[in-house]
């Protein structure tokens, strides 16, 4: 029987002692060692992305519990990029890390089902899903989530549903007041809490989580109250201005209740360091984990 994502997340955080999720956002320029011997073509660039991300995973694996590859930065290179993403996810699996595909998909009916099967289902010719969980967008309405829930339930996968995101423009829609009271994002949080019911395993943690921007610390408190069983995926730490110290409410219900996402502040740490690039990345991940430990 497949172990539900919430229980796997809880076990992984307990085993690693880390609630850090490293965002794998491969933006150039890349280290010279990654580029060596490659052509300046789309296939060559995709191969550079693959090498870079595999090096990142090797560096951060001892200090985190999960990675979150940004799918768009692989899709940029077409089929070559998607092949690279497959290889990167395989490397993460070899290192025992959970994989959250940051795809932010959202559609209805058979289209949504196809997206779900692509990211958290068993693709034709494969034996396991590409990712353990996927980010999705419910702002077209709750019917866009139902196909993802069906596939996730079947494969023990997780969903992280956008609620209050980390971008500055979130307040233009997500924080708008509703005529019935509350804000738009809080209505979505209510949906998420409903979907969490019945999807909570023995750990007490649901397989249906929410994306809550670390750039809005007051929202983290409200989100935990509205969705007590849902893991909160918390992007925006570091380059976007979010502070780890503000995220303690996420962990009040469970030591794996929050996944703190750090991308540029970890994976680009080498750009400010004259030493080995992977050593700089590893040290940045280690420091982030220590800061998270201090609040949970």
Q: Known catalytic residues?
A: 104
- CA-to-CA separations, 138 to 98, 126, 167, in angstroms, rounded: 23, 28, 17
Angle at 291 between CA 287 and CA 294, to 5 degrees: 140
Cα separation of 21 and 200, whole Å? 21
3 state DSSP class of 140: coil
Over the Cα atoms of the chain, what is R_g? 18
3 state DSSP class of 154: helix
**What residues are paired with 161 via a beta bridge?**
136, 210
Cα separation of 209 and 232, whole Å? 6
Q: Greatest CA span in the chain, whole angstroms? A: 61
Structure tokens at 252: 């009040």
Q: What is the DSSP letter of 102?
A: E
What lies within 8 Å, CB to CB, of 6 at 6+ separation is 158, 199, 200, 201, 203, 205, 206, 207, 231
Report the DSSP pairing between strands 133-136 and 158-164.
parallel
Structural element, H or E, at residue 83: helix 78-94
């Amino acid at each position: 029987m497949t172990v539900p994502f919430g229980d796997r997340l809880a076990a992984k955080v307990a085993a690693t002692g880390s609630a850090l999720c490293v965002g794998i956002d491969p933006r150039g320029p890349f280290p010279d060692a990654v580029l060596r011997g490659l052509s300046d073509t789309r296939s060559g660039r995709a191969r550079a992305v693959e090498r870079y991300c595999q090096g990142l995973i090797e560096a951060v694996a001892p200090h985190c519990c999960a990675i979150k590859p940004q799918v768009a930065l692989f899709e940029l290179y077409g089929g070559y990029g998607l092949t690279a993403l497959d290889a990167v996810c395989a490397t993460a699996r070899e290192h025992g890390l959970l994989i959250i595909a940051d795809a932010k998909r959202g559609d209805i009916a058979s289209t949504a089902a196809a997206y779900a099967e692509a990211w958290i289902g068993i693709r034709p010719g494969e034996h396991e899903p590409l990712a353990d969980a996927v980010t999705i967008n419910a702002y077209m309405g709750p019917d866009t989530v139902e196909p993802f829930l069906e596939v996730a339930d079947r494969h023990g996968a997780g969903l992280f549903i956008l609620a209050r995101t980390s971008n500055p423009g979130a307040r233009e829609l997500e924080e708008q007041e509703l005529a019935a009271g509350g804000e738009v994002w809080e209505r979505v949080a209510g949906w998420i809490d409903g979907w969490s019911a019945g999807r909570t395993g023995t750990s007490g943690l649901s397989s249906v989580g929410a994306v809550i921007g670390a750039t809005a610390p007051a929202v983290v408190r409200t989100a935990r109250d509205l969705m007590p069983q849902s893991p909160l995926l918390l992007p925006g730490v570091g380059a976007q201005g979010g502070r780890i110290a503000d995220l303690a409410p996420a962990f009040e219900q469970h030591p794996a209740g929050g996944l703190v996402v750090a991308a540029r502040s970890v994976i680009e740490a080498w750009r400010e360091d004259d030493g080995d690039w992977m050593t700089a990345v590893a040290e940045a991940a280690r420091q982030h984990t220590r800061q998270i430990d201090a609040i949970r």
